[in-house]
Chains A and B, each alone.
Chain A
Amino acid sequence: MTVPISWYLVLASVLFAIGTVGALTRRNGITIFLSIELMLNAVNLMILAYARLLGDQAGQVIVFFVLAVAAAEAAIGLALFIAVYRLRRTIDVNRLNLLRW
């Protein structure tokens, strides 16, 4: 028996939710980032599942681009964190709150 597509989709949803929790809950900036990457991968999974369902290979191309963009984003995000660390000696987002009231 083949795996029903819905299983992939549900898995993707679960992974997405886990990633969301991580992004909202953690204090370490880099871990938050990691959670966001997890969300991205969940979405990739979902796209590929749909591509398989619809028989269209364009889904794989899209995932390809998502991957590339994720790489770019990760690079810049980490560079930002390094810059922030230089200034504030912390990457605890609770302490990066200069815009507070």
Chain B
Amino acid sequence: MNQLWLVPLLPFLGAAVNGALGPRVPKWLTTLVALAAPGGSLLVALVVISEWRHGAPAPFEQVLYAWTRAPLRIDVAFLLDPLSAVMTFVVTFVGFWIHVYSTGYMSHEKGYQRYFVYLNLFMGMMLLLVLGNNFLVTFVGWEGVGLCSYLLIGFYYDQEVPPQAGRKAFIVNRIGDFAFLAGMFALAQRFGTLDYRKIFAAITADPHALQTPYMLGLSFAAFVAVCLFAGATGKSAQIPLYVWLPDAMAGPTPVSALIHAATMVTAGVYIVVRTNALFQLAPGVLWAVAIIAAATAVVAATIGVAQNDIKRVLAYSTVSQLGYMFLAAGAGAYAVAIFHLATHAFFKALLFLDSGSVIHAMSGEQDMRRMGGLRKHLPVTYWTTLIGCLAISGVPGFAGFFSKDAILGAAWQAHIALWAVGTITAGITAFYMFRMFFMTFHGRFRGTEEQHHHLHESPPSMTLPLVVLAVGAVVSGWVGTIPFLHRDWLGHFLAPVIADVGHGHAHAEHGPGLEAFLVGASVAVGLLGIFVAWRLYGRDRNLAGEDAFIARFPAVHRVLANKYYVDELYDAVVVRPIAWLARMCFRVIDTIFINGTVHVGAFVTELIGDLGRFTTTGNVRNYSLYFFTAVIVLFCWLVF
């Protein structure tokens, strides 16, 4: 177990080595280093976790060294407990297979080496985030993944859009980070430490002390919970800070798969679950979380219906599914949130990699209106995408069914309105996913002759990860809550992490009748969504269904396609005023005051020079006079 520190270190090492080797080494060497790092990390993680499982059940801490001492003691240390074990497994497993996929997808890119440096760096940062045993190490990882996200979104830096998208992601994230920091400061001040175990032990020892009013009318627990959740909305793309995620699709597709589906965006969920003790002591905040989550889920789903870029559909789908995770957390079912996090990691990464395969085959085309009929040309991609879509639509047997059902069950227990929104969203989800599926793979090919000519299935480096993740998308469902069988391996596994304070956590058991109703309802809306999509887009109807819809509801379609004009709203309300303020600062403060001060100094010096030069007449008589005057002055001074 003492090799735990290798898990985050190996990716950093891989990044450093590849960074040092540079782009001019043979590609096989870059690939070798780039794959060895996450692969090694995965292996070590598996070994360490299994060793830990067979040993003591208590969490394992490994302290590397003391980073700061007095007055706030912070160590660089890692914590291996059920939550971090699950997260680590997901991150390393999915991360490794996405690295493998990338070797095929990015093989023709000129930034190949740079890509893997950033990707390995990201892995290291994400592992720091989940394995850190205190808030600060986690925050280092938090910021680090934000940085890598920026670097990788803006990977194609010579184009116009990617750098802007990268900046947008970073800046929006920063707003959330500010809130996160505020929460950390409050915690450090109250507890004198940022260590997870120490803080949560102190909380469970005296929970009610944290419920007295603290700041802004909130109790301490509520304040910190709000801060941390605000940070989570930034990182995990919830309302109001989700706007960066669709634009982040400007990065390479494997990046979208890894960072913006499986790992980085789940960091917010991780934090909420990690600090569930605080959230349990602030029920009001939990309600807010659930409501925001539900709203995000349904809004994002409706936007996804009207998108034509295959990656954008998946992006909004991710936002929506993250809403589901936070909905579970808001309803008190923290283990369920992690459950959905894991299943979603598999099928969403799978779907993104599938879209990458399609884009690769279509020579870079991402508009679904120009696809169609790819079933014949991309068999592996076709079947794996189908599996992914079935998973996300909650079809029984696939992973999404189990996790989504668990969430809806928890939502029902919290409030029926939350359940209703969640169920409706599930239907919409199924619809837009299969819209995507049918538009892409069925019907007639609608692209150019040139694209048709180049259609080909992806190489094994890309198809193998697809298969692996597809298996995961099926199998991962069986580890969590299984309805009717009263089995919940994951829930029991994660139980030690859920604090026993307040009244937050939901109980999983419903009566069998209720259970049947809930399961039936979610399956029904799922199948309904698929059916509608099939009617509109399947059976060789191509785009006729879509065109009919647009003809009948043009305004609705326009609003959805323009994402409810949220970006435009932000631009008008936030971006423009700040830009104006910056311009004013430049014109007034900088140009007039600061430059002016400097100019005044120069001007005075010049003036003195201009006037002073009249003393240098070149006439020796004048100089003698100066001399003589000085002598007299000196004389007077000496005598008096």
Q: Are chains A and B touching directly in their complex (CB below 8 angstroms)?
A: yes
Taking the complex as formed, is A99 at the interface, i.e. its CB lies under 8 A from any CB of chain B? yes
Q: Which range holds the interface residue count of chain A?
A: 10 to 19
Stretch at the interface among A3-11, A40-48, A89-97: A89-97
Task: Report yes or no: B618 in contact with A99, Cβ–Cβ below 8 A.
Answer: yes
A100 to B620, CA, bound (A): 10
Taking the complex as formed, is B614 at the interface, i.e. its CB lies under 8 A from any CB of chain A? yes
A23 to B628, CA, bound (A): 10
Taking the complex as formed, is A98 at the interface, i.e. its CB lies under 8 A from any CB of chain B? yes
Query: Which residues 578-633 in B have Cβ within 8 Å of A in the complex?
Result: 613-614, 616-621, 624-625, 628
The listed residue (B613, B614, B618, B624) touching A97 by CB distance below 8 A is B618
Taking the complex as formed, is A24 at the interface, i.e. its CB lies under 8 A from any CB of chain B? yes
Taking the complex as formed, is A60 at the interface, i.e. its CB lies under 8 A from any CB of chain B? no
The listed residue (A20, A23, A100) touching B619 by CB distance below 8 A is A100
In this complex, what residue of A is CB-closest to B615? A101
Task: List chain B residues, Cβ under 8 A from A96.
Answer: 618, 620
A97 to B624, CA, bound (A): 14
A80 to B614, CA, bound (A): 27
The listed residue (A24, A99, A101) touching B625 by CB distance below 8 A is A24
Task: Report yes or no: A98 in contact with B628, Cβ–Cβ below 8 A.
Answer: no
Task: Report yes or no: A101 in contact with B620, Cβ–Cβ below 8 A.
Answer: no
Task: List chain B residues, Cβ under 8 A from A93.
Answer: 619-621
Task: List chain A residues, Cβ under 8 A from B628.
Answer: 20, 24
In this complex, what residue of B is CB-closest to A99? B618
A89 to B621, CA, bound (A): 19
Task: Report yes or no: A101 in contact with B619, Cβ–Cβ below 8 A.
Answer: no
A24 to B625, CA, bound (A): 6
A96 to B618, CA, bound (A): 7
A32 to B620, CA, bound (A): 10
Task: Report yes or no: B624 in contact with A24, Cβ–Cβ below 8 A.
Answer: yes
In this complex, what residue of B is CB-closest to A27? B621
Task: Report yes or no: A99 in contact with B616, Cβ–Cβ below 8 A.
Answer: yes
In this complex, what residue of A is CB-closest to B612? A101
A62 to B609, CA, bound (A): 45
In this complex, what residue of B is CB-closest to A101? B613
In this complex, what residue of A is CB-closest to B624? A24
A93 to B622, CA, bound (A): 10
What's the nearest-Cβ distance from chain B to residue A39, in Å? 11
In this complex, what residue of B is CB-closest to A36? B624
What's the nearest-Cβ distance from chain A to residue B345, in Å? 80
Task: Report yes or no: A98 in contact with B618, Cβ–Cβ below 8 A.
Answer: yes
Task: Report yes or no: A100 in contact with B624, Cβ–Cβ below 8 A.
Answer: no
In this complex, what residue of B is CB-closest to A21? B628
- Mask for A1-38, Cβ within 8 A of B = 1, else 0? 00000000000000000001001110100001000000
A25 to B616, CA, bound (A): 18
What's the nearest-Cβ distance from chain B to residue A67, in Å? 23
What's the nearest-Cβ distance from chain A to residue B308, in Å? 76
The listed residue (A25, A32, A101) touching B614 by CB distance below 8 A is A101
A97 to B620, CA, bound (A): 8
What's the nearest-Cβ distance from chain A to residue B618, in Å? 3
A94 to B625, CA, bound (A): 14
Query: Closest 5 interchain pairs by CB?
Result: A97-B618, A100-B618, A101-B613, A99-B618, A101-B616
5 contacts between A and B (CB under 8 A): A24-B624, A94-B621, A99-B618, A101-B614, A101-B618
| Chain A residues engaging chain B, CB cutoff 8 angstroms | 20, 23-25, 27, 32, 93-94, 96-101
16 further contact pairs, Cβ within 8 A, besides A24-B621, A93-B621: A23-B624, A24-B625, A24-B628, A25-B621, A27-B621, A32-B621, A93-B619, A96-B618, A96-B620, A97-B617, A97-B618, A98-B618, A100-B617, A100-B618, A101-B617, A101-B618
